[in-house]
Amino acid sequence: MIDALIFDFDGLILDTESPDFLSWQDIYAAHGHELTVEIWARNVGGAWHNQYDPLEALLGRALDREVVQAQYKARARKIQLAQPILPGVQEYIKDAKEMGIKIGVASSSDHTWVDGNLERLNLIHEFDVIVCADDVENVKPHPELFLTAVERLDASPARTIVLEDSPNGARAAHDAGTFCVVVPNPLTAQLTFDHGHLRLDALSDVPLAHVVTLAGEKE
């Protein structure tokens, strides 16, 4: 029996990874350098992407970080506002509620970012718990976010399904003892996943009931 379903946020509910990458890619290009997926991938699914340090290393000088941050935010925000909820997310929420499964979010981003976007998408009231970076000492790939969400849902890791899009998130879900479904976004699909029980191109590819069955067999 599955008790809980936990969603990652960035790249799983909403494609925020691509807007971030494209924005930073523009900034690197403006300074005469290329931002590769390899550079970007170092922190995907973990702490906030610090792209200042690698760019400053390439330039051999410090940036005016306030100016760069303003440029990044303006570009990323414009792209993010055009992003739809990713395929299958709303169906999984609906099916989980019908099956009596508690629903949560566990994100390495902070509440301001996650709650604000969930509010904008009219999803915030769909979740029983929302656990973010400001609720814990350690973010992904440490399992604390998932363990905290499981505890607040009054569930057990062995009876919890986690939906993740990044290698760092999948590792955290594995170390927390949950059943992990990997759903890479266009950027993380290029990375290597060492953990995960099931990999999908999109949540809409497989109904939640099937995933629940597979997770139940792993208990």
> Residue 187, Cβ neighbours under 10 Å: how many?
20
| 138 φ, ψ (degrees, to nearest 5) | -125, 130
Which listed residue (10, 20, 128, 165) is catalytic? 10
Q: Is the pLDDT of residue 45 over 90?
A: no
What pLDDT digit, counting tens, does each position of 98-139 carry? Answer: 999 999 999 999 999 999 999 999 999 999 999 999 999 999
By the 10 Å C-beta count (0-12 exposed, 13-18 middle, 19+ buried), 74 is classed as exposed
Q: Is the pLDDT of residue 157 over 80?
A: yes
Residue tagged 């998408």 (tokens): 121
| Whether 26 is catalytic | no
- pLDDT for the residue 219: 65
| Whether 135 is catalytic | no
Omega cis (within 30) before 143:
no
What pLDDT digit, counting tens, does each position of 74-92 carry? Answer: 888 888 888 899 999 999 9
Q: Is the pLDDT of residue 141 over 70?
A: yes
What pLDDT digit, counting tens, does each position of 189-201 carry? Answer: 778 899 999 999 9
- pLDDT for the residue 44: 58
- Whether CATH 1.10.3720.10 fits 4-15+85-218: no
pTM check: above 0.75: yes
